[in-house]
């Protein structure tokens, strides 16, 4: 039996990478470039995926305990700035955003990624106009999994926590949603995969189109 449809939802909060945009090569490539550039053997992608989601400097600090996390993160961001073409739309992204807008939903993009590339990714893939709000890493003091970005979005969109849903593909997305008191939808097709089910999200989807059956 399918999950019951959410009622009284007025706002959908989306993560960007691995949720709306296919950024597997954009993200993994940046990690591999940064590590290689500083003479460090890149980790297997499966291991990288388990560490992703939080502040970039913190991710590198865990990956390379004796390395310079700030320098590694800067190399990472430089790669992404120069390779925006690697961020592409999932097949259903525009269809889903168009449908949500048609239903009168408010839509926000909430990412830990730097503003240097986040907004440009949305602009270059043609979906920036769908968003009422875009929150990047520099727009808050604490990024996901802290609830601050979500609470800031909820306040700006003038909705209550129970009227919003967070859709994301990493541990940080689902945890942030729970911390903010909003419903959560795990995008299992993204970076976090099936492991997100361990967090007991309210819903889980393996295709972005399935979101339209929920909200």
Q: Give the tens place of pLDDT for each residue, 121-176.
A: 999 999 999 999 999 999 999 999 999 999 999 999 999 999 999 999 999 999 99
Q: Look at the domain 24-85 and name its fold.
A: DNA polymerase; domain 1 (1.10.150)
Residue 129 sits at the vertex; the CA angle it makes with 107 and 14, to the nearest 5 degrees, is 30
User: Which of the residues are catalytic?
Assistant: 15
Provide CATH 1.10.150.240 ranges for the chain.
Answer: 24-85
Q: Give the tens place of pLDDT for each residue, 50-77.
A: 888 788 999 999 999 999 999 999 999 9
Instruction: Kindly give, in sequence order, each residue whose CB lies less than 8 Å from that of residue 12, ignoring residues fewer than 6 positions away.
Output: 100, 105, 106, 107, 108, 164, 165, 167, 211, 215
pTM over 0.75: yes
Averaged over 87-94, what is the pLDDT? 97
The string of DSSP codes covering 53-95 is TS-HHHHHHHH-TTS-HHHHHHHHHHHHHH-GGG-EE-TTHHH
pLDDT-derived band at 2, boundaries 50, 70, 90: very low
Averaged over 79-99, what is the pLDDT? 97
Share of the chain above pLDDT 70, in %: 98
Provide CATH 3.40.50.1000 ranges for the chain.
Answer: 11-23+87-213
Which of 25-29, 113-117, 153-157, 176-180 shows the lowest per-residue confidence on average (mean pLDDT)?
Answer: 113-117
**CATH classification number, 11-23+87-213, choose in 3.30.420.40, 3.30.1490.100, 3.40.50.1000, 3.40.50.40:** 3.40.50.1000
Q: Which residue has the tokens 């911390």?
A: 179
Average pLDDT, rounded, for the chain = 95
């Amino acid at each position: 039996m399918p999950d019951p449809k959410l009622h009284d939802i007025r706002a959908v909060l989306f993560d960007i990478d691995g949720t709306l945009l296919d950024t597997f090569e954009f993200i993994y490539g940046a990690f591999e470039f940064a590590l290689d550039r500083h003479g460090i053997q890149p980790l297997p992608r499966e291991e990288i995926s388990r560490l992703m989601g939080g502040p970039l400097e913190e991710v590198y600090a865990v990956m390379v305990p004796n390395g310079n996390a700030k320098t590694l993160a800067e190399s990472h961001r430089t790669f992404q700035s120069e390779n925006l073409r690697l961020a592409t739309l999932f097949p259903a992204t525009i269809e889903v955003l168009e449908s949500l807008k048609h239903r009168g939903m408010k839509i926000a993009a909430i990412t830990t990624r730097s503003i240097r590339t986040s907004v440009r990714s949305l602009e270059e893939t043609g979906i920036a106009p769908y968003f009422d709000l875009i929150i990047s890493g520099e727009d808050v003091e604490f990024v996901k999994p802290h609830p601050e970005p979500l609470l800031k979005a909820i306040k700006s969109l003038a909705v209550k926590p129970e009227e919003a849903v967070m859709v994301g593909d990493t541990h940080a997305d689902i945890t942030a949603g729970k911390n903010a008191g909003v419903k959560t939808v795990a995008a299992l097709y993204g970076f976090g995969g099936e492991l997100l089910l361990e967090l007991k999200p309210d819903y889980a989807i393996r295709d972005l189109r399935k979101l339209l059956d929920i909200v």
